[in-house]
Structure 1
Amino acid sequence: MISQFPEQWQTKCQERPFSTTTPIQEALFKPISDGDNILGISPTGTGKTLAYMWPILLQLTPKKGQQLLILAPNSELAGQLFEVAKDWGEPLGLSAQLLLSGSSQKRQIERLKKAPEIIIGTPGRVFELVKLKKIKMMAINTIVLDEYDELLSDSQLPFVSKITNHVARDHQMIYLSATQKISNDFLAENTKMITVSEQTPETIHHYYITVEKRDRLELLRKLSNIPDFRALTFFNNLSDLGATEERLQFSGTAAVSLASDVNIKMRKVILEKFKNHDLSLLLATDLVARGIDIDNLETVINFDIPRDYESYTHRAGRTGRMGKDGQVISFVTHKEDLKKLKKMASVQELQLKHQVLSLKK
């Protein structure tokens, strides 16, 4: 497949290096190139973004204005997709525009006058600009719903439906996610489903630590003191997240939360600090799980047991990406927690001894 890429991309692949493509990238390339409506399901960290980005970008015409719309459920994911689109689009003479709520609408409208071929954004802001006729939906050939199950959920669905109602009849729809929990009734007609389950189980190791509920925070603090330890830590409730962040920071732990009320600029600063190992703990809820992509993230911690299998899958998918090693550590306080956890993953028990994690014999 790579051998068929234009010369600009071949050079880029050699620099990366992209010597081979992943199964989902191989599976989606031809049907997307052929203009089919596609539902692509593949575990997180298996290269889904490039799986759809490569074939679509090769179909776009430079200097022809708006042609591709990519919707994402949150700012983090939209921002990352924008970077990928720029990275691979610019060598082909294609430009992209990022549209997020919380950023200046006036500035975004000015930039849209430059007629970018690629538009990427969150549904609320995109719909505002569709209503103002600044996004020319009749010119859009392809719409991508990245993390489509989030975009077609209760809160986002009204915006997505209104946006897609403005598009030309013969447009292409592409849906992507790691899990499928939305009825096919929500999908466009003649949508082909392509499922690839190629994630190697050995790349992500699943563990649990038995701990009293009142001792979880102290355990988290001890883990953060392990040299070079870095973990994305998930909570089920915002109130628990906020209280834990406060107490960890009071004890001098390099921990920061990525709650939904943190503004876009600050979120970017926090993520950069975490990526640069200046923070040992990044605290989050499932709301932001879909949008965080951190190269070589070593550990994901479940401070709370996820509510369902889909949540566990998306949390776990933040580590062990693209075949690299990673570990998921879940805090278990009750027998029922462990029973629930074992239905989500094949877990082994860990115990903490002298601030060093070791497998329990």
Structure 2
Amino acid sequence: MTFIKNLPEAWQEHWQASGFSEPSMIQEKSFQPLKEKENVLGISPTGSGKTLAYVLPLLLNVEKDQGSQLLILAPSQELAVQISQVVRDWATLLQLKTQSLIGGANVGRQIEKLKKKPEILVGTPGRVLELIKTKKIKSHLLQTVVMDEVDQLFHEKELNLTKQILASAPTEFQLVFYSATADRVVEEAQKLTDQLTIIDVMDEDQSGGVVNHYFMALSPRKKSDFLRSLAYTSDFRAMVFFNQVADLGSVEEKLIYEGLAVAGLASDQNKTLRKLAIDQFSKKRAVMLLTTDIAARGLDFEAIPFVVNAEVPLSEESYIHRAGRVGRMGAAGSVITFVNDATKRDYQRLMKKIELPSKEIFLYDGAIHLTRKEKSSSEEKAGSPNGSAKKEQAEKQVPTKKTAKPKNRPKNNKNKGARRKSSKPEL
């Protein structure tokens, strides 16, 4: 019997109103161990519903008006904000309070809200540790600490902050880890607790939709032109990833100048501009979100049909997490990577390592095609004495329907790329 039938009635109604059907495998397998306060490491594909997998059982263990009992850590501001929104939706139905604690936001306001004794805290390690050290967070009350996208939190800098947070909390508390990759995660998690239940559904989970992987050969100078052409194909909406902030800014500036509805999201922006970019893309006011790996993890936008890598990603991990923005919870999607003569072999090696098949595609006549463009009749006449040629040939297309212009450009383009000067890869 699925655990949904045993949830509070208000939650069952919210589950149905949200359009959910059966729980995903990671949600089903996580519920009872987390509810029974076991230390859990959950590993499942991107887009398989990991957030609700831990949020629902853990919220049921939280007691109203008993101080901050549940702490959820995330590696980025954007992910922390998104998690807090999900938590708040469900916690409010149980009359529980949620507080987000992220860097870049006004710390004074966060301290004021902490005085209302929220039961659930969601934040980034730096800001959470700052508030613990100033005794604004009463860490002795914490009963459960969750690390979402834990492979990122286990990077050297973040791991040091996380360990300090854990050291400030009482010795007896529940530890929960969730990730889409098992690399290093199991080993590091076991260093923090010797009693760990590992729930790995990577090979069993079937919740992901069909994702096709394509590459497109073009000159590096033609990125803006090809992105503009893609934007004018019908039903095109994409997250476009860059390795370097400077390249992102340059392309963004060109596309905005040409009147395209795009938004840019990068680490050199303040909280307001980041939120503006996310809102523009979420509300479909922008046809493309130009970003870096800052948005490759956790951020969930409804039914994105395309991810475009404006250049070959720097690692397999980067490719997998970027590709994970499509094919979420059964939705189909496509990943397109721009390659050139210098990077095509890098792309082929990358795809071989992660064992994903890919095909070359071509952009012409306002659509994406799996075959090269046939010569026109005039071209045939120029190259053939009798001028005889097949006028038409059936050709396969990546489904994009007919040409259509993107919708209105964003009203606020303050986050233009001209500000971005860093040329270092953003990891």
TM-score (normalised: structure 1): 0.96
Equivalent position of 1:269 in the other structure? 276
Cross-structure match for 1:299? 306
CA contact (8 A) 2:152 2:158 kept: yes
1:39 aligns with 2:41: yes
Is this contact kept in 2: 1:65–1:115, CA < 8 A? yes
Q: Aligned AA for 1:338?
A: Y
Give how far 1:118 is off. Answer: 0.1
Q: Give yes or no for the alignment of 1:338 onto 2:347.
A: yes
The Cα RMSD (Å) is 1.6
1:319 corresponding residue in structure 2: 326
The match for 1:104 among 97, 100, 106 is: 106
Q: How does 1:97-246 map to 2 (within 5 A)?
A: 97-187=99-189, 188-189=192-193, 190-197=195-202, 198-199=205-206, 203-246=210-253
Q: Deviations over 1:231-283 (max 9, x none)?
A: 10001111211121122222322222101122222222221211222212211
Superposed CA deviations along residues 322-349 of structure 1, whole A, max 9, x for unmatched, are 1111111111213313322422322122
Larger radius of gyration: 2
Query: What is the CA-CA distance between 1:213 and the residue it aligns to?
Result: 2.2
Q: 1:131–1:200: structure 2 CA closer, same or farther, 3 Å change rule?
A: closer
The answer as to whether partners of 2:154 and 2:185 remain within 8 angstroms in 1 is no
- Length, aligned pairs only: 361
Identity of aligned residues (%): 42
Q: Would the alpha carbon gap of residues 243 and 73 (structure 1) be closer, same or farther in structure 2, given more than 3 Å must change?
A: same
**Residue in 2 that maps onto 1:67:** 69
Report the secondary structure of 1:155's partner residue.
helix
Distance 1:338 1:186, change over 3 A: closer
Whole-Å separation in 1 of the counterparts to 2:235 and 2:159: 41
Could you tell me whether the CA contact under 8 Å between 1:78 and 1:291 is conserved in 2? no
* CA drift at 1:168: 1.1
- Deviation string, structure 1 residues 203-247 (Cα, Å, up to 9, x no partner): 212111122222222111211122342110001111211121122
Q: Is the 8 A contact 2:223 2:251 kept in 1?
A: no
Unpaired runs of 5+ residues, structure 2, are 372-395, 397-427
Decide whether the 8 Å contact of 2:34 with 2:58 is kept in 1.
yes
Match runs of 1:253-292 below 5 Å: 253-292=260-299
Name stretches of at least 5 consecutive residues in structure 1 with no aligned partner.
Answer: none
Q: Secondary structure at the match of 2:291?
A: strand
**Contact kept? 2:237, 2:287, Cα under 8 Å:** yes
Residue 31 of structure 2 is aligned to residue 26 of structure 1? no
Query: C-alpha separation between the residues in 2 aligned to 1:209 and 1:33?
Result: 47
Structure ranking higher in strand proportion: 1
Aligned partners of 2:259 and 2:218: how far apart in 1?
Answer: 22
What secondary structure does 1:39 align onto? strand
